[in-house]
Amino acid sequence: MVHLKINYFSNALLKDCQMDVCLPDENKTKDKLPIIYLLHGMSDDNTSWIRKTRVERLLKSTKVALVMPNADLSWYANTPYGMNYYDEIAYEIPRVIHELFPQLSDKREKNFVVGSSMGGYGAFKLALSTNKFSYAAALSGAFNPKSNLVLRSFRPEKYWYGTLNQLDDFDTSVDNLDYLAKTRSTSEPLPKFFAWCGKQDFLYQDNLNFINTMNQLNIPIEHKFTDGKHDWYYWDKYLEEILKWLPINYSPEERLS
């Protein structure tokens, strides 16, 4: 794949930003290419999917584009202190991508979002709160940031009060996935959802709880729980399962059994 480093000015954040984009080496078809947005987790950035997984190699024979934005420690939120990361990634980056790369599709059925940890939360958040993505997948999704004690090991509590909206009233917050699922408009088509989490992951119970909520709301979600921890080794291991699940005509690399 062709790997591009994109520097652009974000109007949502009022600062220079970066993202990584991967494109097929060639595209001889007239059809516009599907896009997978890959969202990173806490302590990672827009380079993490390329550096820590096999994604570029796995997709070398598949006609699909990858977009990897940088969300810092924002939890893909419009923060109370005025940094609108949600607006940037939900609306601004897709606009920039389609202006720069007109060969990429802007159709919902060809736009997908996948994330790990905080990025898994971001993937489901974008899929539940917009009508831009038809498939969303999470690896060790951090689906309930309010209950996530690991946040406090990254930054003091006052930092998170400036990041996640309505932390004191999270039940009705736009950053609460349960609330987004319960209030999602029934007039718009539902995305397809997939979640993987390791049974030894500290987010395992959060994953069980969120999937139970989705089931109670009659929102279909495929899920798989296996042995595994909160680690790129396992996210890379199960990435190919997501690529097979997405409607991208995935062409696996040739392997000896």
pLDDT (0 to 100) of residue 48: 98
pLDDT (0 to 100) of residue 166: 66
Domain membership of residue 141 (yes or no) is yes
pLDDT (0 to 100) of residue 81: 86
Query: What is the torsion angle, in degrees rounded to the nearest 10, for the CA atoms of residue 121, residue 127, residue 129 and residue 130?
Result: 140
Pairing mode, if any, of strands 2-10 and 15-23?
Answer: antiparallel
Which structural domain range is residue 14 located in?
2-245
Domain membership of residue 76 (yes or no) is yes
Domain membership of residue 250 (yes or no) is no
Domain membership of residue 251 (yes or no) is no
pLDDT (0 to 100) of residue 232: 98
Domain membership of residue 254 (yes or no) is no
- On whether the pTM is more than 0.75, the answer is yes
Q: How many domains does the chain have?
A: 1
- 3-class secondary structure, 111: strand
- Collect the ranges in the chain with pLDDT lower than 50: none
Q: Give me the CATH number covering residue 120.
A: 3.40.50.1820
pLDDT (0 to 100) of residue 73: 93
Domain membership of residue 255 (yes or no) is no
Domain membership of residue 67 (yes or no) is yes
Q: One-letter amino acid identity for 5?
A: K
- Concatenate the DSSP letters of all residues of the chain into one string: -EEEEEEEEETTTTEEEEEEEEE-S---SSSPBPEEEEE--TT--TTHHHHHSSHHHHTTTS--EEEEE--TTSTT-B-TTS-BHHHIIIIIHHHHHHHH-TTB---GGGEEEEEETHHHHHHHHHHHH-SS-SEEEEES----GGG-TTHHHHS-HHHHHTTSTTGGGGGG-TT-HHHHHHH--TTSPPPEEEEEEETTSTTHHHHHHHHHHHHHTT--EEEEEES--SSHHHHHHHHHHHHHHSSS---PPP---
Domain membership of residue 257 (yes or no) is no
pLDDT (0 to 100) of residue 170: 84
pLDDT digits (tens, 9 = 90+) for 76-100: 999 988 899 999 999 999 999 999 9
